[in-house]
Structure 1
Amino acid sequence: MTKTTVLSRSLLKSKHFISLKYKYENSWTGYNENIGDECILGIVELENVEINVFPNPVKDNLYISSNYKLKSVHIFNAMGQKVFFEENYNTNEINVSSLSKGVYFLKLTDMEDRKTIKRFITE
């Protein structure tokens, strides 16, 4: 897989967006997501927060390890379509076996509405 990632911040109607553009299997694609007002370079930097997403790449269950409580979890495909959403998230795993092979973005929101995005690949 040839991958080029461009991360940028743009201000549109007082909102910040994360934009990713990459090449996968000889095709350019991108992703844009509004991640809130209080971010720097498109991603909220959380101090003393450890978030791990594993295994990556994943076949069946994706595990999330974090030292803070999550409120919601979203998964977006490379086209920016929401393919999974769970409010009141209270487990540490997500079954992703039904997702097609490819690149996905995991948007995690904590109880204080801070957001972070992790990339993962399904096999």
Structure 2
Amino acid sequence: MIKKITFIAILFLFTQISFGQEKYIQIEMVDQSPNYDFVGYPSYYYDMPFGATDYSNDVGLNTILTGNNVIAYDYIESLPNVSENGYANWTLVICDNCDNNQLAAELNAYSSVIRNAYPLDDGLAHNQLYLGIVDVNVGTVTGTNNGIVTTNDAGLNALFTTYNVYFYEQYYPSFTDPYLLSVYTLLCDCDVNLLMTDMEAYSSVINYVERMGLGSQMLLSVSPETAFTDVVLYPNPVKNTLHISKTTNIKSLEIYSIQGQVMLTQKNHFETVDMSQLQSGLYFVKLTDSANRSKTIKIAKN
């Protein structure tokens, strides 16, 4: 019975707001113009009226999207403007109760405007990972070789070559904190789930690795997960003081034990959290923002 209760508590902590049957398609556009009037650029920023079908500035694209229960078409702001093809404009389709595989196939067939359309069953990027390296001096960028990023670590170079990693940069380059300087993001022409598995196994260099959520104005209005894309809790594991990198709009913080018991609550001052009085073990930090969107993050306490 105890095991069952514990499982239910953990399941509750990891369950986010349900988004029904919403599905996603990540799109790389053919037009590489580095401005906001490329062919296929979204017509709306975050205020698309209900029932609107003028999704973009391209009639052919609008025709494909119409009739597929598309509730949002937006520019992806969280992805770097780069792909294996060079400069890239990324857009996002969100549809409700749709066959996103079929819709992606129709979009891919529209090759004069769409370079690649990737069907997704969640709001996570098709080709982007977020990771932390163990030592800030190991795994740093040294250049490129035939379009593949090279670093000062041979093992990481082997992974990058296998998985065609063409973009790899520090996520917080302007910070001075060593933990934040160890955080990187990468893009690949690969199956990111396979890359993530191999990077997790390379624990002598990689501290952690996660899929990245897609960030756009429309998606923020649909999915609370992306509201916390830039939030980092560190160090993890933590001994005494837990730091939060970005606290804008956070209105509350709760820490739960693995049994689901509330161990700590904060309603203000979110830059640091004193965990020194908690016993060693696993905990779950639940952040809630001013729009009542929440995210739960697992933390280890030494």
**With structure 2 as the length reference, what TM-score do the two structures score?**
0.28
Deviation at 1:106, TM superposition (A): 0.2
Deviation at 1:85, TM superposition (A): 0.9
Paired residue for 1:57?
237
Q: What are the within-5 Å matches in structure 2 for residues 94-109 of structure 1?
A: 94-109=273-288
- 8 Å CA contact 2:251–2:288 kept in 1: the answer is yes
Q: What is the alpha-carbon distance in structure 1 between the residues aligned to residue 265 and residue 274 of structure 2?
A: 12
Richer in strand (by share): 1
Paired residue for 1:33?
12
Deviation at 1:38, TM superposition (A): 4.7
CA offsets per residue over residues 28-66 of structure 1, 9 Å max, x none? x5313366645578x842157311000011111000112
- 8 Å CA contact 2:228–2:295 kept in 1: the answer is no
Q: What is the number of equivalent residue pairs in this alignment?
A: 94
Identify which range, 45-54 or 58-67, moves more after superposition.
45-54
Paired residue for 1:86?
266
Q: Please tell me the residue identity of whatever aligns with 2:274.
A: N
Which structure has the larger Rg over C-alpha atoms?
A: 2
Paired residue for 1:120?
299
Q: Please tell me the residue identity of whatever aligns with 2:260.
A: G
Q: Which runs of 5+ in 1 are unaligned?
A: 1-20, 22-28
SS of aligned partner of 2:225:
coil
Paired residue for 1:5?
none
Q: What is the alpha-carbon distance in structure 2 between the residues aligned to residue 107 and residue 47 of structure 1?
A: 13
Q: Which runs of 5+ in 2 are unaligned?
A: 21-121, 123-222
Q: What is the alpha-carbon distance in structure 2 between the residues aligned to residue 62 and residue 39 of structure 1?
A: 31
SS of aligned partner of 2:248:
coil
CA RMSD, 1 decimal: 2.7
Moved segments of 4+, more than 6 Å? none
Q: What is the alpha-carbon distance in structure 2 between the residues aligned to residue 79 and residue 48 of structure 1?
A: 24
- 8 Å CA contact 1:103–1:120 kept in 2: the answer is yes
Richer in helix (by share): 2
Paired residue for 2:103?
none
**With structure 1 as the length reference, what TM-score do the two structures score?**
0.64
Q: What is the alpha-carbon distance in structure 2 between the residues aligned to residue 48 and residue 81 of structure 1?
A: 23
Q: 1:66 aligns with which of 235, 240, 246?
A: 246
